[in-house]
Amino acid sequence: MTPGTTTPLDVETLRKDFPLLARTVHGRPLVYLDTASSSLQPRPVLSAMEQYYETCHANVHRGVYTTAEEATARYEGARVSVGRFVGARDPGREIVFVKNATEALNLVVRSWGAANLKPGDAVLLTEMEHHANLVPWLMLAERSGIELRYLHLDDDGRLDLGDLERSLDGVKVVSLSAMSNVLGTIPPLREIVEAAHAAGALVVADGAQAVPHFPFDVQELGVDFLAFSAHKMHGPTGIGALWARADLLDSMPPFLGGGGMIFDVRLDRFVPAEPPHRFEAGTPPIAEAVGFAAAVDYMESLGMARVRAHEAQLTEYAIGAIAERLGDGCRLFGPPAGPDRGGVLSLALRDVHPHDVAQVLDQYGVCVRPGHHCAKPLMRVLGVTATARASIGPYNDERDIDTLIEGLEEAGRLFS
């Protein structure tokens, strides 16, 4: 079987790779539907990190003894693997390891944004952004006087691009989610990138929800920056990546100061290292990078086209089954099933509080996330304070959806 084909995933076999799925909760098998928050880790990722600690743990870029050189080779090899996964032209120079996608976005704003945007310049965002792609820009606007603009949503939760050309007038950068963590909306990124570049703007893509769920190639899409996190793509917590064009990284000042990010230091000045090390001050997350590379290898073995096909089919099944069994009593937010919808199912069950919904679902072994999902402005647009969100990964199947709906029916009965 060739990775990347649309041959269906063997979910029964795949599930055995994830130890946590062997757990029972309240006497029921665990049904993990919180992948949008953090995905589960397969055994190859856990084993790679354990093997690193057991055989060659050392600090990187410093020691000349054997295990230190081995650790450095694994760390830098992970950078190349992660970069290739998203189509980087020069992955050894264009991937910066960070703590998570939030730090990657802050790096762009604090380094590129602070150095290049001046009062009166405009940044175009959207109403569906995660706080990680909103608050840093708000902070910069407070300090520098830049203007923030927003693309609005239509009634189906898609971006309204009818006035895109006017919205881009005077814009220096467009920063948007490549898939909404609340609505599952997948915007037409290539179309937006082409319009932005024609207007002289750069494009920052928040890929935290996109990179783990469908093929993502920065060269094909034409974005200038991409932020994503390992823990949402079956890797460890504590590490993420910023991809940026090499010429942009070359022009950006350091984000943090300290060891590892310098070429030379004197008492009155310093010279930063070349990218990407310029942006990686201090001891980096070495074991996590090893785990990140193992997660990339695992996902490539599944084939991202197959992951996308499986999750699209399951999303379509879930949307149809929820409508059939719960009817008007359950409101699903976001576009209908289709090519511009990912496997995120944010719902409101009548007037039942999302936290109550989640607690009832827990009794069925079902893991979902209640809350505003770090998207308070979007909640206000939707007219709710919170939703209960189920989110799909490659280890989920129709039985998981059926159990979810069984729990939702019980929550409806309990709070009727």
pLDDT, one tens digit per residue, over 13-28 is 999 999 999 999 999 9
**Does residue 206 lie within any of the structural domains?**
yes
- 72 and 204 part of one domain: yes
What's the DSSP call for residue 182?
T
- 75 and 198 part of one domain: yes
Cβ 280 vs Cβ 96: under 8 Å: yes
Over residues 326-336, the mean pLDDT reads 97
- 293 and 360 part of one domain: no
For residue 179, count other CB atoms closer than 10 A to its CB.
28
Structure tokens belonging to residue 72: 């450095």
Interatomic CA distance for residues 385 and 87, integer angstroms = 38
Cβ 225 vs Cβ 242: under 8 Å: yes
DSSP run (H or E) holding 70: helix 66-85
**Does residue 39 lie within any of the structural domains?**
no
Interatomic CA distance for residues 237 and 101, integer angstroms = 11
What is the model's pLDDT at position 2?
Answer: 39
- 67 and 95 part of one domain: yes
pLDDT band at 416 (very low <50, low <70, confident <90, very high): confident
The CATH number of residue 325's host domain is: 3.90.1150.10
Interatomic CA distance for residues 341 and 392, integer angstroms = 12
What is the tally of helices (H) and strands (E) in the chain?
A: 16, 17
**Does residue 38 lie within any of the structural domains?**
no
**Does residue 253 lie within any of the structural domains?**
yes
What is the model's pLDDT at position 284?
Answer: 97
What is the number of domains present in the chain?
Answer: 2
Domain endpoint, select from 284, 301, 318: 301
For residue 330, count other CB atoms closer than 10 A to its CB.
21
- 171 and 273 part of one domain: yes
**Does residue 349 lie within any of the structural domains?**
yes
The model carries a pTM of 0.97
What is the model's pLDDT at position 62?
Answer: 85
**Does residue 2 lie within any of the structural domains?**
no
The CATH number of residue 97's host domain is: 3.40.640.10
- 291 and 262 part of one domain: yes
Domain endpoint, select from 281, 301, 321: 301
What is the model's pLDDT at position 165?
Answer: 95
Over residues 142-158, the mean pLDDT reads 97
- 230 and 242 part of one domain: yes
pLDDT over 70 for what percent of the chain?
99
**Does residue 400 lie within any of the structural domains?**
yes
pLDDT tens sequence across 353-390: 999 999 999 999 999 999 999 999 999 999 999 999 99
Over residues 109-130, the mean pLDDT reads 97
**Average pLDDT along the chain:** 97
pLDDT band at 4 (very low <50, low <70, confident <90, very high): very low
- 63 and 23 part of one domain: no
**Does residue 40 lie within any of the structural domains?**
no
- 256 and 309 part of one domain: no
- 86 and 188 part of one domain: yes
Domain endpoint, select from 267, 301, 335: 301
Within 8 A by CB and 6+ apart from 278, the residues are 249, 252, 254, 261, 272
65 class by beta-carbon count within 10 Å (0-12 exposed, 13-18 middle, 19+ buried) = exposed
Cβ 348 vs Cβ 384: under 8 Å: yes
Q: Which residues are tagged catalytic? A: 374
pLDDT band at 408 (very low <50, low <70, confident <90, very high): very high
- 231 and 296 part of one domain: yes
Which residue in the block uniquely carries the two structure tokens 């965002």?
Answer: 125
Radius of gyration of the chain (CA): 22
- 200 and 233 part of one domain: yes
Give the domain range for residue 309: 11-32+303-414
pLDDT band at 3 (very low <50, low <70, confident <90, very high): very low
DSSP run (H or E) holding 116: helix 114-116
